[in-house]
Amino acid sequence: MKILVCITHVPDTTSKISFTDNNTKFDSTGVQYIIGPYDDYALARAVEIKEQTGGSVTVLNVGEAETEPTIRKALAIGADEAVRINAEPTDAFFVAKQIASHAKEGGYDMILMGRESIDFNGGQVHGMVGELLGLPALSPVMKLDIEGDTAKMAREIEGGKEFIEVKMPFVAGCQEPIAEWKIPNMRGIMSARTKPLNVVDPVDSEKPTVLENYEMPPAKGDVKMIDADNVEELVDLLKNEAKVI
Amino acid sequence: MSVLVFIESAEGEIKKSSLEAVSYGAAVAANEGTSATAIAFGSIDEAKLKEVGKAGATKVLHVNDDRLDKGVIQAYANALTQAVEKEGAKVLVLAKSSLGDPVAARVAVKTNAALASNVAELPDTSSGFKVKRSIYTGKAFAMVELKADVKIIAIKKNAVEVKEDGGDATVETFSPELSDADFGVQITGEERQTGEILLPEADLVVSGGRGLKGPENWGMIEDLARALGAATGCSKPVSDMDWRPHHEHVGQTGVKVSPTLYVAVGISGAIQHLAGVNSSKYIVVINKDPEAPFFKAADYGIVGDAFEVVPKLTEAIKARK
Ligand SMILES: Cc1cc2nc3c(=O)[nH]c(=O)nc-3n(C[C@H](O)[C@H](O)[C@H](O)COP(=O)(O)OP(=O)(O)OC[C@H]3O[C@@H](n4cnc5c(N)ncnc54)[C@H](O)[C@@H]3O)c2cc1C
């Protein structure tokens, strides 16, 4: 089984978000970067499938040189080799085009990634890659089993799940509980240092969306505390002040 | 040129988030001096389709093909692309959802469109076509300019109100060309919560956390939700321990909700949980620990034992309704 896993390089989930340069740049001061949490699920499942069926896992990231520690972490978790497409990932279509261009020649049986990145939350790249390659793309996939040339999946839908069968190759945007996150062990970390990480130039692509600037949501007002013995007051406030009930 | 709106339905019922998309599309259309056309798939009563007019669509294209009762992503994307072309639509609006995301992505590639997802407000067309997207899981916004001829907007749930001031829509049958390849993915079954309010679309949500101690105590969460007419949710450890189903788990890695009221009971308010609820209009927190971080994000707070406070609150709400 030949598996491609696409990962994002994103601020740690607990990061405080702020911007500089007149709200046009993300302020990365003191921010720790991680593999996108949904991508981590995709990677963990890919490594499990490889362990069961043999084959290889390639990780791919569209990003500039600063993403290499994140890519090395994916290698430490169990990917065999890595590709970094040397470009700033500023538009979903641009990223999808890079991934599709790499995957076209790769003969992958499946392309896994997270359902969305936790920075831009677009949830578009898997679908675009599927369309560019003429493959089915399913998301958000929470269960993935391979039987022969068929993948059996569960996809989360609003208020439930849908069961799916599809022939390989396919693209999937993954989420929990598809697998347990894997934590790199010492052997993984050592071997990651010598695994191949190929840097390639991006292919030409338009960027149909352009970021103008960022905004922060309005600050929250103070919390009104209500005595536990006086729930009536809360009902009053919800009815007359907030007008939500 | 017109504005096209993709409508999702489940078991013949049109989703609320899709009606929000219709109202959004109608507002965009009015701004562009044109009208909004909706497109619906699968078996739905004509009367229900006409009613989409109330939310602002003047016409509904109905792809009346029972193979499309389920969300077959590729078939929907292909049909939608043909509808964009037939209508000469320059703007396609849909709800960001588990079906909307993959469908929109495919249509964007097929039509060379610019796609913005998680959009929270009407576009600004004073110079170019710009939309405000929610990013960093609700912690910030980005203004994004859509540069292509066709623009696709996936709106965040509950970001727009459903208007109800329109008339009946005219309903037209639309029969796009679909091939076997569009049905290459087999949907073999479904497990769906029935008869209750869907969490991602809910206007009111009551969530419980690990503070509830076990699944046997969820009755009081359900009672409060029933009294309010709310959906129920939970924190991640609760679904990890199988106290509640996974689709109820709210947060960074779960469902993102944006209700008018979010009631959090026995949830600490870890940043990953907050990420899923920070666009709620009002937040009520009930926690026995006065230092629980959730109070910082709350509008109203009660420090107290959930097992005492929640039943009293439920009774007080019932009495005042
Ligand atoms: C990458 C990542 C992603 C994550 N994603 C999510 C996510 O999407 N959603 C999510 O929820 N979490 C997520 N988490 C986990 C998150 O960090 C917290 O662990 C989790 O939200 C805690 O859940 P909790 O508040 O229910 O439990 P706890 O932290 O155990 O808090 C329980 C609370 O209940 C209160 N309590 C106890 N007894 C009572 C009582 N009798 N009456 C009233 N209050 C009581 C306590 O004071 C406490 O504040 C994620 C973590 C990581 C690392």
Which residues in chain B have their CB less than 8 angstroms from residue A37's CB? 252-253
Is the peptide bond preceding residue B215 cis, with omega within 30 degrees of 0?
A: no
Mean pLDDT rounded to a whole number for chain B: 95
Looking at residue A232, its amino acid is E
C-beta of residue B249 within 8 angstroms of C-beta of residue B285: no
What pLDDT is attached to residue B1? 75
Checking if the pLDDT of B264 tops 70, the result is: yes
Q: Which of B221, B115, B48 is nearest to A125 (CA)?
A: B115
pLDDT in tens, A181-234: 899 999 999 999 999 999 999 999 999 999 999 999 988 889 999 999 999 999
Tokens of A172: 């999937």
pLDDT level of residue A14 (50, 70, 90 thresholds): confident
Chain B contacts of A157, Cβ < 8 Å? 71, 98-99, 190, 192
Backbone φ and ψ for B126, nearest 5 degrees, come out as: -65, -35
Question: What is the DSSP-derived secondary structure letter of residue B161?
Answer: P
Q: What is the mean pLDDT of residues A70-91?
A: 97
Do A205 and A144 form a contact (C-beta atoms < 8 A)? no
The residue whose CA is least distant from atom 47 of ligand 1 is B289
Report the residue among B253, B286, B312 best suited for mutation to probe ligand 1: largest number of ligand atoms under 8 A from its CB.
B253
Per-residue pLDDT at A86: 98
Q: What is the pLDDT of residues B291-310, one digit of tens each?
A: 999 999 999 999 999 999 99
Q: Does B81 touch chain A (CB under 8 A)?
A: no
Cα A117 to Cα A92, A183, B136: the distances in Å are 10, 20, 9
Beta bridge partners of A165: A152, B186
Helix, strand, or coil here: B285?
strand
Q: Are the CB atoms for A161 and A150 separated by under 8 Å?
A: no
- Measured between CA atoms, the residue of chain B closest to residue A162 is B190
Q: pLDDT (tens digit, 9 = 90+) per residue, B36-84? A: 999 999 999 999 999 999 999 999 999 999 999 999 999 999 999 999 9
Taking CA–CA distances from B307, the nearest residue in chain A reads: A228
Interface test with A, best of B129, B139, B194, B320 (most A CBs within 10 A): B139
Q: Are strands A160-167 and A150-157 parallel, antiparallel or unpaired?
A: antiparallel
Inter-chain CB proximity A210 and B275 less than 8 Å: no
> Which one of B115, B187, B320 has the shortest CB-CB distance to A124?
B115
Whether residue B259 has a cis bond before it, omega within 30° of 0: no
Q: Give CA–CA dist B90/B148, Å, rounded.
A: 9
β-strand pairing of A9-11 with A33-35: antiparallel
What residue's CA is closest to ligand 1, atom 30? B210
**B172: number of Cβ within 10 Å:** 12
A130 touches chain B (CB under 8 A): yes
Question: What is the C-alpha separation between B98 and B102, in angstroms, rounded?
Answer: 7
Q: What is the mean pLDDT of residues A99-128?
A: 96
Specify the length of chain A in residues.
245
**Alpha-carbon torsion, ordered B245, A156, A163, B242, to 10 deg:** -20
pLDDT band at B320 (very low <50, low <70, confident <90, very high): confident
Distance CA A193, CA A75 (A): 8
**Residue B247: pLDDT band with limits 50, 70, 90:** confident
Radius of gyration (C-alpha) of chain B in whole angstroms: 21
- Rounded (10°) CA dihedral A151, A157, A159, A163: -20
Q: Which residue of A has its CA nearest to B275?
A: A13
CA distance B321 to A244: 12
Q: Whose CA is nearest to atom 4 of ligand 1?
A: B272
How many angstroms does the Cα of residue B235 sit away from the middle of ligand 1?
6
Closest residue CA from atom 2 of ligand 1: B272
Per-residue b or e along A1-31, where b marks 16 or more CB atoms closer than 10 Å to that residue's CB: bebbbbbbbbbebebebbbeeebeebeeeee
- For CA atoms A132, A137, A140, A144, give the dihedral sign: negative
CA distances from A166 to A152, A163, A171, B89 (A): 7, 10, 10, 32
Q: Does A173 touch chain B (CB under 8 A)?
A: yes
Taking the C-alpha atoms of residue B23 and residue A75, their distance in angstroms, rounded to an integer, is 47
In a mutational test of the B interface, the residue from A147, A220, A236, A238 whose CB has the highest number of chain B CBs within 10 Å is A238
C-alpha span between B243 and A37 (Å, rounded)? 23
Q: Per residue in B160-188, pLDDT tens?
A: 999 999 999 999 999 999 999 999 999 99
Looking at CA atoms only, how far is residue A64 from chain B in angstroms? Answer: 20
Percent of chain A past pLDDT 70, that is, above it, reads: 100
ipTM over 0.90: yes
Location of structure tokens 């959906």? B231
**What span, in angstroms and rounded, lies between the C-alpha atoms of B170 and A182?**
54
pLDDT, position B94: 98
Interfacial B residues in 216-245 facing A (CB < 8 Å): 228, 240
Average pLDDT, chain A: 96
**Chain A: residue nearest B271 by CA?**
A14
Residue of A12, A13, A117 best suited for mutating to test ligand 1, as the one with most atoms within 8 Å of CB: A13
Residue closest via CA to ligand 1's atom 51 equals B272
- Report the pLDDT value the prediction gives residue B195, as an integer from 0 to 100: 65
Q: What is the mean pLDDT of residues A36-62?
A: 97
The pLDDT, as a whole number, for residue B196 is: 75
Calculate how close chain B gets to A198, using CA atoms only, in Å: 28
C-alpha distances in Å from residue B248, one per residue of A3, A159, B235, B260, B312: 31, 8, 8, 18, 24
How far is it, in rounded angstroms, from Cα B53 to Cα B168?
Answer: 5
For chain A, say whether B9 makes contact (Cβ under 8 Å). Answer: no
Q: Structure pTM?
A: 0.93
Residue A126 has pLDDT above 70, yes or no: yes
Q: Please judge whether B188 and A11 are an interchain contact, meaning their C-beta atoms are less than 8 angstroms apart.
A: no
Percent of chain B with pLDDT over 70: 99
Q: Which atom of ligand 1 is nearest to the CA of B305?
A: 42
- Ligand 1 center from residue A50 Cα (angstroms): 33
Which of A161, A228, A239 is opposite residue B320, by nearest beta carbon?
A: A239
Question: Where residue A34 falls among pLDDT bands split at 50, 70, 90?
Answer: very high
Residue A122, SS3 per DSSP: coil
Helix (H, G, I), strand (E, B) or coil at B274: helix
End-to-end CA distance of chain A: 55
Mean pLDDT on B104-127? 97
Percent of chain B with pLDDT over 90: 88
